[in-house]
Amino acid sequence: GAVVSQHPSWVICKSGTSVKIECRSLDFQATTMFWYRQFPKQSLMLMATSNEGSKATYEQGVEKDKFLINHASLTLSTLTVTSAHPEDSSFYICSARDGGKETQYFGPGTRLLVL
Amino acid sequence: AQSVTQLGSHVSVSEGALVLLRCNYSSSVPPYLFWYVQYPNQGLQLLLKYTSAATLVKGINGFEAEFKKSETSFHLTKPSAHMSDAAEYFCAVSDVEGNKLVFGAGTILRVKS
């Protein structure tokens, strides 16, 4: 149980384009989903927290207009990197938490390369 | 604010030897503590968690960790390392609601044959 998937696993795009990453909880309802970014040889940094049906809460320093998060259902959250630039190249990982429980279950990650 | 310090960015052990990965935390509220493992180009897999029950927590793959409040530590151990244990390990702390996981910098474990 507690499986989280992400799609795509790899994406390469041109600078200035937008990229959408999907995060799905496959066998549980995720009332809360989280988006993290991990730069090479660094730890995970929380970007934003999203609750189903509500606006996402962004961490300090994360541009909400650049990283659009939608959590329209209990099993799906999407992260859209708008007008991507090379500095946005990173490993993006989502996690999901079942309401009332403390454990976050992580997806396999999406590697984004912006040329 | 909560924070996590993992001592040693790289740890190398021989196959069959004891594995000890160190984690110290700082938290103004009773913490929940987690150890996750990450294999190359993959997401994080939960190894074990402490949620204010037993201070000695057993996890998957033979790992365990002991919560020591007096030392603000949550070190991860395994009696005998396997080659398959080679990965990066992250210690994390959250509040009691499981929000805002704060991760340590990670420790890369290398297992020598």
Q: Beta partners for A36?
A: A46, A93
CB half-sphere exposure, B56, CA atoms < 13 A: 3
Q: How far apart are the first and last CA of chain B?
A: 41
Computed over every residue of chain B, the mean pLDDT equals 91
Q: Which of A31-45, A100-114, B33-47, B58-72 has the highest mean pLDDT?
A: B58-72
What share of chain B in percent tops pLDDT 90? 73
Backbone torsions φ then ψ of A113, nearest 5 degrees = -125, 120
With beta carbons less than 8 A apart as the criterion, state whether A44 and B104 touch: no
Question: Quick one: pLDDT at residue A37?
Answer: 95
Question: Quick one: pLDDT at residue B25?
Answer: 94
Within 8 A by CB and 6+ apart from A108, the residues are: A5, A6, A9, A93, B42, B43
Reported as a single tens digit per residue, the pLDDT across B19-42 is 999 999 998 777 899 999 998 878
Nearest beta carbon to residue B42 from set A4, A102, A109: A109
Q: State the sign of the Cα–Cα–Cα–Cα dihedral B83, A36, A88, A23.
A: positive
Nearest beta carbon to residue A44 from set B49, B96, B103: B103
pLDDT at B104 over 90: yes
Whole-angstrom Cα distance, residue A91 to residue A70? 19
Question: Quick one: pLDDT at residue B98?
Answer: 67
- Give the H/E segment covering residue B5: strand B3-7
Question: Quick one: pLDDT at residue A81?
Answer: 97
pLDDT at A1 over 80: no
Chain B, nearest residue to A44 by Cα: B103
Which residue, among B41, B104, B110, has the nearest Cα to A40 in the 3D structure? B41
The DSSP-derived string for A59-105 is PTT--TTTEEEEEEETTEEEEEE-S--GGG-EEEEEEEEETT----E
pLDDT at B51 over 90: no
Q: Is the Cβ of A26 closer than 8 Å to some Cβ of chain B?
A: no
Nearest beta carbon to residue A106 from set B44, B49, B99: B44
Of the pLDDT bands very low, low, confident and very high (cuts 50, 70, 90), residue A52 is confident
Which tops the pLDDT comparison, B30 or B71?
Answer: B71
Question: Quick one: pLDDT at residue B2?
Answer: 84
Portion 7-46 of B in contact with A at CB < 8 A: 32, 34, 36, 41-46
Question: Quick one: pLDDT at residue A6?
Answer: 95
3-state secondary structure of B52: coil
Whole-angstrom Cα distance, residue B54 to residue B52? 7
Computed over every residue of chain A, the mean pLDDT equals 92
- Omega of the bond prior to B31 within 30 degrees of 0, cis? no
Reported as a single tens digit per residue, the pLDDT across A89-105 is 999 999 998 877 778 89
Best B9, B25, B34, B42 residue to mutate vs chain A (most A CBs within 10 Å)? B42
CB half-sphere exposure, B51, CA atoms < 13 A: 8
